[in-house]
């Protein structure tokens, strides 16, 4: 994979540079760059966000723009990434640390709006960033979120406009909260956790059964599931705990909720846990 390059004039659709000066000894000097591109058709868009530190705020947008982004950063600690390939309809954006960065300074903040009327494959990679990902009402065909030592929240407050092929969440030494996952309209959800914690809320509009592949190592996963959804759990555990209150073990060694046979909507959980913990709670937010 070709590594995203620093911001280049050849790629910029619209760029405004603002220097926010501060007195010596006060807040660090920040620079703000803005990028945008007009919406001309509904050809699918591939979006890659690579943000090593700071904060990410992402929303779907109704404005007549394919995307609009604003990145505030301290040039002593980070440098912007921006690349748009019109032929491949691929956007790469974020901030990275330059070699020999200073030990002090402000953390970059990326605000990104993406058109709701265009099919989007979205990949987000974070280092020590925090994130608020408001993904409701978009046309996400795929979603992949990878977080390191991050505190991230993603939510689908309204249904995804198209079925999603695949939803992947990879959590390191991080905290992840995901709400309205049924609204994502993803048939397959894959979650991998190492050391961190994840709260996965399956509220929303269920349009079909959901397969959840869950790997937990030295972490805790909490699943919040509506009371009328049937749950099956196939659990492989090593020094790990699984709360089984309200579940019956079947002849196939899987655990079933008491409404599994009668439920119209079902969640099938395949979990592999090493020194981890799985907790199921009824009543999604």
DSSP H helical ranges for 58-145? none
CA dihedral for 78, 53, 45, 135, sign (positive or negative): negative
Which of 13-27, 66-80, 134-148, 255-269 is least confident? 13-27
CA dihedral for 50, 53, 58, 63, sign (positive or negative): negative
DSSP H helical ranges for the chain? none
Q: How far is CA 218 from the centre of its chain?
A: 21
pLDDT tops 90 at residue 2? no
| Higher-pLDDT residue of 17, 171 | 171
Give Cα separations from 269 to 121, 163, 166, 168, 233 (angstroms).
Answer: 25, 20, 15, 14, 5
Mean pLDDT for the stretch of residues 265-271: 96
- Strand-pair category, 247-249 with 255-257: antiparallel
| Higher-pLDDT residue of 24, 197 | 197
Rounded to whole angstroms, how far apart are CA atoms 71 and 108? 7
Q: List, for residues 199-234, the tens digit of each pLDDT value.
A: 999 999 999 999 999 999 988 999 999 999 999 999
pLDDT tops 80 at residue 9? no
- For the chain, the structural domain boundaries read 16-282
The burial class, CB within 10 Å (0-12 / 13-18 / 19+), for 216 is buried
CATH fold label, 16-282: Pectate Lyase C-like (2.160.20)
**Which stretch of DSSP H or E encloses residue 189?**
strand 188-194
Contact between residue 132 and residue 153 where contact means Cβ atoms under 8 Å apart: yes
Tokens of 281: 């709670």
Q: List, for residues 174-200, the tens digit of each pLDDT value.
A: 889 999 999 999 999 999 998 889 999
pTM of the entire structure?
0.86
The burial class, CB within 10 Å (0-12 / 13-18 / 19+), for 262 is exposed
Say what the pLDDT of residue 239 is: 65
* Percent share of the chain, pLDDT over 70: 86
Report, in angstroms and rounded to the nearest whole number, the Rg of the chain calculated over CA atoms.
21
Terminal Cα-to-Cα distance of the chain (whole angstroms): 39
Contacts with 5 (C-beta within 8 Å, 6 or more apart), sequence order: 81, 83
Tokens of 4: 């995203």
């Amino acid at each position: 994979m070709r590594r995203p390059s620093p911001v280049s004039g050849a790629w910029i659709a619209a760029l405004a540079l603002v220097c926010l000066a501060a007195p010596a000894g006060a807040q660090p000097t920040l620079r703000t760059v803005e990028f945008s591109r007009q919406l001309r058709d509904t050809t699918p868009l591939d979006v890659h966000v690579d943000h090593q530190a700071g904060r990410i705020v992402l929303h779907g947008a109704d404005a007549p723009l394919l995307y609009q982004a604003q990145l505030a950063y301290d040039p002593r600690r980070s440098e912007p990434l921006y690349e748009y390939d019109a032929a491949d309809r691929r956007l790469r954006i974020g901030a990275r640390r330059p070699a020999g960065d200073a030990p002090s300074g402000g953390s970059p903040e990326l605000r990104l709006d993406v058109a709701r009327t265009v099919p989007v494959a979205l990949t987000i990679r974070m280092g020590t960033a925090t994130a608020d990902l408001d993904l409701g009402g978009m046309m996400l065909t795929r979603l992949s979120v990878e977080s390191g030592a991050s505190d991230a929240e993603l939510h689908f407050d309204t249904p995804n406009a198209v079925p999603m092929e695949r939803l992947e969440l990879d959590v390191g030494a991080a905290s992840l909260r995901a709400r309205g996952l049924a609204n994502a309209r993803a048939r397959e959800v894959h979650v991998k956790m190492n050391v961190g914690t994840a709260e996965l809320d399956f509220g929303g509009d269920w349009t079909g059964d959901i397969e959840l592949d869950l790997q937990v190592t030295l972490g805790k996963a909490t699943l919040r599931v509506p009371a009328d959804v049937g749950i099956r759990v196939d659990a492989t555990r090593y020094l790990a705990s699984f709360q089984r209150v309200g579940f019956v073990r079947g002849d196939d060694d899987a655990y079933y909720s008491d409404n599994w046979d009668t439920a119209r909507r079902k969640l099938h959980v395949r979990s592999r846990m090493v020194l981890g913990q799985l907790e199921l709670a009824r009543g999604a937010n």
